[in-house]
Structure formats: C-alpha cells, structure tokens
C-alpha cells in the first residue's frame, strides 16, 4: 500500500522553480518582506491607471458619435 504522506511531500512544478530561483539569487525572507512592503500599493495604482485609460477611451468614442 502506498504511503499517503509521500503524496503531500511532492511540490508543484511552480514551487520547485521558485525554490530553485531563491537558491540562485540568495533570497532571504527579510528581503522579500521589504520588497513586498515597498510595492504594496502598486497593484492599486496600476488598476487606477487602467480605469482612467478605459474612461478616456469611452469619452473619446462618445464624443466621436
């Protein structure tokens, strides 16, 4: 009978790639936390910019009609 716990030890291909990259770059948790803190609101600013582009495009298409 197969040991079920051995299935839990297998990692996804993505996780294996990330771990390999961490070894190559000398990743440290403190550095990762710092980068996360510094880029925390980037996704919000990107979303606002995209929303503005969409709004501008709608205004242009409405004024062209």
Residue 62 has which token pair? 């409405």
Domain definitions of the chain by residue range: 4-64
Q: What 3-state class would DSSP assign to 40?
A: coil
Interatomic CA distance for residues 65 and 63, integer angstroms: 5
pLDDT band (50, 70, 90) for residue 15: confident
What local confidence, expressed as pLDDT, does residue 9 receive? 63
pLDDT bucket at 11, cuts 50 / 70 / 90: confident
Select the more confidently predicted residue: 16 or 5.
16
Question: Six-digit token pair at 6?
Answer: 């051995």
The contacts found for 43-47 with CB under 8 angstroms, 24 or more apart, are none
Instruction: Give yes or no for a contact between 21 and 27, defined as CB atoms under 8 angstroms apart.
Output: yes
Q: Which residue has the higher pLDDT, 26 or 64?
A: 26
Q: What is the pLDDT of residues 19-63, one digit of tens each?
A: 888 888 888 888 888 887 888 778 888 899 999 999 999 999 888
């Amino acid at each position: 009978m197969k040991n079920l716990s051995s299935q839990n030890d297998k990692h996804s291909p993505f996780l294996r790639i990330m771990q390999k990259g961490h070894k190559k770059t000398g990743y440290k948790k403190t550095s990762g936390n710092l980068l996360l803190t510094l880029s925390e609101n980037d996704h919000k600013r990107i979303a606002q910019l995209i929303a503005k582009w969409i709004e501008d495009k709608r205004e242009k298409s409405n004024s062209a009609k």
